[in-house]
Amino acid sequence: MNIKDTIEVKLSEIILNVYQLKDINLEVQENKTEFEGDFTIVTFPLVKQLKKNLESIGVELGESLTTQTELLESFNVVKGFLNIKINNQFFIDNFRSLSQSLLKVEKKNATVMVEYSSPNTNKPLHLGHIRNNLLGFSVAQILKEAGYDVIKTQIINDRGIHICKSMLAWEKFGNGETPETTHTKGDKFVGNYYVEFDQHYKKEIAELVEQGAEEEQAKKEAPLMKEVQKMLLDWESGDKKVRDLWNEMNSWVYKGFNETYKRLGVDFDQVQYESNTYILGKDLIQEGLDKGVLYQKEDGSVWCDLTDEGLDQKLLLRSDGTSVYMTQDLGTAVERFKDNDIQKLIYTVGNEQDYHFQVLFKILKKLGYLWADQLHHLSYGMVELPNGKMKSREGTVVDADDLMQEMYETAKSKAQELGKLEGLSEEEKEASYEIIGLAALKYFMLKVDPKKKMLFNPAESIEFNGNTGPFIQYTYARIQSLLTKANYEYKDVSEVPVNEFEKELIMLLANYGIIVEKAAEVLSPALIANYVYDLVKSYNSFYQNQTTPILKLEDQNLKQFRLNLSYITGKIIKKSLGLLGIETVNRM
């Protein structure tokens, strides 16, 4: 329990014992005023209950906390605020208990599945995928740290008309070339043909329009569109030639995806493929019809009426018997709960799909699946760029691999300009540039609340000062350098004077577990990012406001305490960054 929580518990006990009042929770704040004290207690809520003036209530509470606990060193009352100074030893004891419990995780005995990434196999991963992957992976790490068992999963969209567009373009214009013969990464190779399809298709449309066709008619009548639709039908009927080409081109893409995932530092425990799951939901349709939850129109199409839920009527099966995305998602959700002992399922998907998930969850609830209440859409805003939105088919996306390479090169340039990493071997420098560059990218993406859209600025993200990944890494490296120079070993210190900078740092360190729990509850890595930034700022204030540098202290007890404080701060910085998928370096 941190110091603030301890004060709140003691206050509740005193209010119950002295005034016989239950369920009165007074707000305890860290004291930011000019009045002496570590915390301020707001006493206004007791005025109406006790019919006493604010000053006398404050004095009574202060005296009770002094006589009934060993918390207080002194107190003062200013209007409705009770300012309390905590006993020095209490901070020491709190820090010692923190040192011993740092690695303990209380298990929740619950398993959460987190879905993220879920790309299409007709193009490489792009900037939007980076935010998705980093969010999903970080949320999974935070849930683990909060004591949950976690299954990380993705469903790969490996079938459909968009996949066939790349296949047809390769068949018509590829001349048998492969990723190997062109020295091109597999997912980029296939993505190039998706773009090429679009270019040829637009030319055909323009020609038909020139010949007098309406644009909408031209889009349907273009020869390439007719060919790609036939290819999709051939795929669905199991045509061997089409299926062989599909398998080969997808294998190129998967190899490319895996390289990107590895560099980005994300992974998965399970992978599903839409080509296996797209028929799953069809089994639920008859079940829904039998229960009267779904209804069938005269043309044979099946719908779910959600107007009583404030939504619309949703198509689940077309008149020709083919399923839609919603049907597939229904079947996939049911299969996941059937095949895994999970208590919660989180979908990491952009906010343009908010309505889709509202409908999905409502239909599953109507079908009688009790776990539908444990489904959650981790909705996030899009990543925006100065030059506007990205379009895959036009080849104007910001490629994930290119962006990671740019971050590496920017980190290298910045580190060399500032004289960082001097004294390391070339191999160590190269590894550090990669770690620092990716830290800049990840931290910049994750420090923003997921619900907000964001503008990504590579140059701003790589700064070694301010609210950035490299700044936090630099503080961690400074701590490691200090501990190395001191030949540090942890030794318990039971009594030592604690100054205001040390108190603030101890309180922040004690909040780590609370922040992790909160971040797990609201599924926001931004809470961790902002916490570790506050922690780093507090440590730097502590470090810079020493009258005597730590290593030159003659008081060995005080020196050991401040080294202990540095050591634990370093541990929590590393743990916090780890929850964001960020590595640390020991020298910068």
Bridge partners of 30?
A: 39
3-state SS assignment for residue 375: strand
3-state SS assignment for residue 292: coil
- Output 64-68 pairs: Cβ under 8 A, ≥24 positions apart: 64/14, 64/18, 65/10, 65/11, 65/14, 68/10, 68/13, 68/14, 68/17
Bridge partners of 383?
A: 454
With beta carbons less than 8 A apart as the criterion, state whether 194 and 122 touch.
yes
- Kindly report the pTM of this predicted structure: 0.89
At which residue do the structure tokens 């011993």 appear?
100
pLDDT number for residue 549: 92
With beta carbons less than 8 A apart as the criterion, state whether 443 and 466 touch.
no
pLDDT number for residue 150: 98
Who contacts 237 (Cβ-Cβ below 8 Å, separation ≥6)? none
pLDDT number for residue 389: 44
Q: Where are the alpha helices (DSSP H) in 419-464?
A: 426-446, 458-461
- In eight-state DSSP terms, residue 269 is S
- The DSSP element (H or E) to which 69 belongs, if any, is none
pLDDT number for residue 103: 62
Delineate the domains of the chain, giving CATH numbers in brackets. 3-86 (3.30.1360.70), 111-394 (3.40.50.620), 401-579 (1.10.730.10)
Q: Copy the structure tokens of residue 488.
A: 């540090």
Per-residue pLDDT of the chain (588 residues; tens, 9 = 90+): 677 888 888 888 888 888 888 877 788 888 877 778 888 998 888 888 888 888 888 888 898 888 888 888 889 888 878 898 888 888 888 888 887 776 677 899 999 999 999 899 999 998 889 999 999 999 999 999 999 999 999 999 999 899 999 999 999 999 999 999 999 999 999 999 999 999 999 999 999 999 999 999 999 999 999 999 999 999 989 999 999 999 999 999 999 999 999 999 999 999 999 888 877 888 889 889 999 999 999 999 999 999 998 999 999 998 888 778 898 899 999 999 999 999 999 999 999 999 999 999 999 999 999 999 999 999 999 887 665 443 444 445 688 999 999 899 999 998 888 887 888 889 999 999 999 999 999 999 999 999 998 888 777 888 888 899 999 999 999 999 999 999 999 998 888 888 889 999 999 998 999 999 999 999 999 999 999 999 999 999 999 988 889 999 999 999 999 999 999 999 999 999 999 999 999 988
Q: Where are the alpha helices (DSSP H) in 304-374?
A: 325-339, 354-366
pLDDT number for residue 10: 86
For the beta sheet containing 313-317, the strands, ordered from the edge strand earlier in sequence to the opposite edge, are 295-296, 302-305, 313-317
